[in-house]
Structure 1
Amino acid sequence: MARVVAVHGIGKQTLGEDTLRKEWLPALNDGLARAGADRLAEPDVAMAFYGDLFRTQGEFLAVGDPPYTAADVAEGFEQELLLAWWSAAAASDPAVVPPGADTLVSTPRSVQAALRALSGARFFAGVALRAMVFDLKQVHGYLTDPDLRAQALARVADQIREDTRVVVAHSLGSVVAYEALCARPGHRVGALVTIGSPLGIPNLILHRLQPPPLALDGPPRAVWPGHAGLVWTNLADDGDVVALVKDLRPAFGEEVRCAILHNGARAHDATAYLTDALCGQAIMDGLV
């Protein structure tokens, strides 16, 4: 049985569990090698795959993702997340024109401006407009469609078993993994490693989690996803637009170990995170 459960992020709807495991396993082992740890064998790693839940059902003569345009970015959540990405990209990439005060209002013009600005960002290099919009809709869909959310959570929860010691989750997958662990009190996972995670984004992500954060005397504090001995490590690249909030401690507690990595031009790429020594160390800590 697998000791490590991997949870992928957005934009993987055309792949599958076997494809992604073959992509992640060498990167996991490179990170472990950098940390001086033993390598994992293929049976040690299970990929919790939920990407197909977002895949449009095939039709003859239809190819690829739906042909989304700026007009398909829905008001509210999708426009707000897009503008948050734009602001974050402008803060870390001099080539991106920052949004002006008049474009921080959710209007069709601001959506077009955001997509145009982001198309020239290093972070979104090579990402087609329709793919960018589709990513927005995946995050939105998970957080607002109860049936889709339940199915994705079931996929992840099914892979977390008695012998699972480490969960490594990327991007939107970190949200799914967090909620799956919260929904399984008594689980024996010893280490949660989140990479490129949007979990700390207030209002858009953090306040929509299940279970919701607790509002006590201070800022809302999210539920701890396991037993007191669980070691949670959160890794974020400084230029990772999706990991908008790099430090999760204010929202999830001082116990979260947070670190900034440097993935170069591949700021949000899962394999770039996995090959880092800090990621390997975090995984190794859960396996010992």
Structure 2
Amino acid sequence: MSALQIVGVHGIRQGSAATTAGLSDSWQTTLDAALSADPGSGISAVVTVPSYQTVFPRTPTRFVRLGGQEAGALSDDAPIDEEEEAFILRALAAYAPSAAEDDSPESGLTLGEGPLTPRIVRRIQAVDRQMGKGVTGRILWLVREAHAYLRNEETAAAVRAAVAGALAATGARFVVAHSLGSVVFYDMLRRGEATEVTTLVTCGSPLGWLAGRKGIHTEDEPLAVPTGVEWTNLHAAKDFVTGCAGLSRFAAGVTDIEVNNGAFPFCHDVHRYLDKPALASVMAKARTA
């Protein structure tokens, strides 16, 4: 039996040196190890992960500092305009909707200098109080790069073209999309740009954000993929990017599977998702379909 062809859609912060060959080899190693744990399945797979780092702009997100009082601080950045500020505030509010911002005069003064507006800093502090110190600084990576994708159509089209090229070259009908990659591929499905795909696995997806669906979905409707696409969503209980929850409360026809990826900050790591038996089971089902 021939190997199952898979296209992977990666998330942010891969680095400019992360080529298609490098990403593909990295994902392949993890998938091979996971499949070898059940040799009786007889499944083999080849994964291709097209890198879109060359077409995605070098957003200041790449310079986010982590840890301590500087979590969430940005350097070498253009100012945040009103439209992006509104996007960030809505996205952060989705992680802790009941958290109250600190409106005292002293609030927002502890993260150091940078382009973050006082309202964003107050929201970071509010979410950190609810979710844990430093969590919001990591979420901000994704929020800002998701905004860059959704706002810049030329960039978004180039990212989608890289994924479409891999699908055409491999003939893959199975896609694994991690993190921001799930936003990219959902966008492709909604645009009718991946009609050959029949199986989608999202991992660590931020599609549950109300703000994150801006531009790719009507916000008062449930998320949905085209008829004929089987959608499975893997989410880890402590994955801060997903809001520590699945997508079924937002989406129609998705099968949520909770997995254990360990504790912060490793719970969002793509390899912690790729090595799970749940993914191997979806692969086995697709192989025999």
TM-score, reference length from structure 1 = 0.73
Displacement of 1:100: 3.0
Q: Closer, same or farther in 2 for the Cα pair 1:132/1:188, shift >3 Å?
A: closer
Shift of 1:196: 0.2
Distance change (3 Å), C-alpha of 1:29 and 1:72? farther
Matched residue, 2:215: 208
Change (3 A) 1:33 1:113: farther
Structure 2: unaligned runs, 5 residues or longer: 65-72, 109-115
Query: Hey, what does 2:261 align to over in structure 1?
Result: 263
2:27 corresponds, among 24, 28, 33, to 24
* Alignment-derived partner of residue 222 in structure 1: 223
- 1:68 matched to 2:94: no
Task: Tell me what 1:78 maps to.
Answer: 88
Post-superposition offset of 1:276: 0.8
How far the C-alpha of 1:281 sits from its partner, in A, is: 1.1
* CA shift digits 1:102-161 (9 cap, x unpaired): 46x999345335556759x78968x9x6x7655432111001111111111111111113
Say if 2:208 and 2:247, in contact at 8 Å, map to a contact too.
yes
Contact 1:21 1:46 (C-alpha < 8 Å) held by counterparts = yes
Q: Which residue number in structure 2 is paired with residue 47 of structure 1?
A: 49
> What amino acid sits opposite 2:250 in the alignment?
A
Q: Is the 8 A contact 1:34 1:276 kept in 2?
A: no
* C-alpha spacing 1:55/1:208, structure 2 compared with 1 (3 Å): closer
Q: Distance in 1 between matches of 2:199 and 2:38?
A: 16
Instruction: Tell me the equivalent position of 2:67.
Output: none
**273 and 186 in structure 1: CA distance in 2 versus 1, 3 angstrom threshold:** closer
Aligned residue runs from structure 1 range 124-163, under 5 A: 133-161=140-168, 163=171
Higher relative contact order (CA 8 A, sep 6+): 1
How much identity, in percent, do the aligned residues show? Answer: 25
Amino acid at match of 2:7: V
Amino acid at match of 1:231: E
Q: Tell me which residue corresponds to 2:121.
A: 112
Deviations 1:216-274 (A, max 9, x none): xxx5133423x42x221100111112112733234331x21111111002210000011
Q: Is the 8 A contact 2:91 2:209 kept in 1?
A: no
Indicate the residue corresponding to 1:231 in structure 2. 230
Match of 2:176 in 1: 168
Q: Contact between 2:94 and 2:209, CA under 8 Å: does it hold in 1?
A: no
Cα offset, 1:181, TM superposition: 3.0
1:186-229 Cα deviation digits (max 9, x unpaired): 73323110000011222x123431xx34x8xxx5133423x42x
* TM score, norm. by length of structure 2: 0.73
2:101 and 2:134 map into 1 onto residues whose CA distance is 23
- The aligned length equals 255
CA deviations over 1:24-78 (Å, ceiling 9, x no partner): 112122333445534546xx22112212333539xxxxxx748924995541112
1:252 pairs with 2:248: no
User: SS at the partner of 2:257?
Assistant: strand
Give 2:117's aligned amino acid.
P
Change over 3 Å in CA distance of 1:199–1:20 after alignment to 2: same
User: How far has the Cα of 1:99 moved from its partner?
Assistant: 4.2
8 A contact 2:222–2:251 mirrored in 1: yes
Please state if 1:242 is matched with 2:241. Answer: yes
> Are 1:6 and 1:45, in contact at CA under 8 Å, matched by a contact in 2?
yes
